[in-house]
Structure 1
Amino acid sequence: MLREAIATGATVEEAKEAACKELGVESFDDHVEFEILEMSSKKVFGLFGGRPAKVKVTIKKSVMQSTEEYIKNIITHMGLNDITVTTAEKDNIITIDIEGEDVGFIIGRRGDTLDALQSLACLVANRIDSSYKRVVINTGDYREKREKTLEALGRRLAIKAAKTGRKSSLEPMNPYERRIIHTAVQKINGATSWSEGENMNRHVVIGPDGKSRENNRGRGGRRNNYGRRNGKPKKAAPAPNPDRKPLNEGGEVGLYGRIDK
């Protein structure tokens, strides 16, 4: 994101100061660049010719700074006070942490507002230059708590599907949250998951694994009316299988990373 101004002055230094004043920055700022367009020249005999110096001043902000400024601007227009925004960047990942008393408004229902804010910040960050940046916005440890909640939900519904043979449909989620559910389900023997719906209505469905049920057919005696084999106790819930490969493994996937399932 570049901002620039061109100013003139009797000397190059005066032209620099005039351009910086127009932009509202100091000439010694690290993000200020100068380009001398014309050098000043004196009048001949004090009467003819002569010209002022002309300088172009450019403010070149980093992607991280521009993204942080954008987020702060949105928070200000939301009418929220006493909000602290801390930004850091590592390995092309910009992390923005928001703290304050009114962070509940920023999180929204099940994180919808936080996700929308993150999506917009990602668009801003990747319009500045050609390098791709991933943006992660968090407030406190909300993301971590949400991830644990989704993992527990995925395991619980996977065990239910394996025991009852029935499927369950979850609420619409973004790709990142769907991946958490898929990963949790695929660690439970006898259950599987897939996504249905389009765009904002795309959601995860958890059901019994047809392959596992096919392999279990014909083992043991007939089942009575209560779903038990004659003379045998009811089958226990399937235990987690740490050796089973989760769906869509293959490195870190951001909140809006691609999910093919």
Structure 2
Amino acid sequence: MKKAVFTGKTIDEAVNAGLKQWNLPAERVKVTVLEQPSKGLFGLIGTKDAKVELEKIPDPIEEAELFLAEVFKTMELEVQVERQEDEEGTLLNLTGPELGILIGRRGQTLDALQYLTNIVGNRYSNSHIRIVLDAEKFRERRKKTLEDLARRLAQRVIKTRKEVVLEPMPPQERKIIHSYLQNYSGVKTFSKGEEPNRRIIIALRSQ
């Protein structure tokens, strides 16, 4: 229920009745006054309560979670979503018995689902929000895998003195490699090509 009508002896009382029933703060609702209260004859006969219509203002993260729930329901998957907030945005961690299908090859399915989830969340937000999807710490494991790869390839470049061209990667994975090798002695990194075929190149750093 996103809209409902509430009554009270005053406007504030009617609004507070709705906030209490919905368990929401005042900033999460839009208030439309339908009827002002009136005291009636001699303050006794024909008194009328205030009547207001409250409309819930969608919460971007809640809407994103509802979208995910619909996706999981359609796929007939039992998945729980745990929310964590930090200074960079919101992490939605997925847990359940069949997460492999949601992660996909090298996290491609998870990345696509994260992209769609961000579109849904930002549709209900006045400012840009960042939502990260993870599944049983896949992001952490993938980060370590990419850093290990970056280190091995950097060592190869130094040894052979020939640049290495990596396979195409999404922006967030390229960022991990760029960051890891930023201060790695002897090599430099840069990206080349257009999305979705943009690649990282590891080359010798000029002396």
User: Normalising by structure 1, what TM-score?
Assistant: 0.62
2:58 alignment partner in structure 1: 61
| Identical residues among aligned pairs (%) | 34
- Please state if 1:198 is matched with 2:191: no
Counterpart-to-counterpart distance in 2, 1:133 and 1:150: 26
Per-residue CA deviation, residues 223-246 of structure 1 (Å, 9 max, x unaligned), is xxxxxxxxxxxxxxxxxxxxxxxx
1:30 maps to a residue whose letter is: N
With over 3 angstroms needed to count, the CA separation of the structure-2 counterparts of 1:53 and 1:187, relative to structure 1, is closer
Deviation at 1:78, TM superposition (A): 2.1
1:57 CA displacement: 2.9
Deviation at 1:54, TM superposition (A): 6.0
Cα deviation digits, residues 121-141 of structure 1 (max 9, x gap): 222222212222111111111
Larger radius of gyration: 1
- For 2:88 and 2:203, the matched residues in 1 are separated by 37
What amino acid does structure 1 have at the position aligned with 2:7? V
Separation in 2, partners of 1:166, 1:103 = 39
Whole-Å Cα distance in 2 between the matches of residues 196 and 30 of structure 1?
Answer: 51
- Return the match for 2:147 from 147, 151, 160: 151
8 A contact 1:12–1:55 mirrored in 2: yes
Q: 1:75 Cα shift?
A: 1.8
Partner of 2:162: 166
The unaligned stretches of length 5 or more in structure 1 are: 14-24, 42-50, 213-261
How much has 1:196 moved relative to structure 2? Answer: 1.1
Q: Is the 8 A contact 2:94 2:133 kept in 1?
A: yes
Structure with the larger helix share: 2
Q: What secondary structure, in the 3-state scheme, does the structure 2 residue paired with 1:12 have?
A: strand
* Correspondence for 1:116: 112
Asked if the contact 1:84/1:100 (under 8 Å) is kept, the reply is yes
**2:178 matches 1:182:** yes
> 5+ residue gaps in structure 2?
9-17, 39-47
Match of 2:122 among 119, 123, 126: 126
Q: CA deviation at 1:27?
A: 7.0
CA distance in 1: counterparts of 2:176 and 2:37, whole angstroms? 64
Superposed counterparts of 1:27-106, under 5 Å: 28-31=21-24, 33=29, 35-38=32-35, 55-81=52-78, 83-91=79-87, 93-106=89-102
Q: Does the CA contact (< 8 Å) of 1:4 and 1:56 recur in 2?
A: no
Q: 1:186: how far off? A: 3.4
Contact conserved, 2:58 with 2:124, CA < 8 A, in 1?
A: no
Partners of 1:64 and 1:88 within 8 A in 2:
no
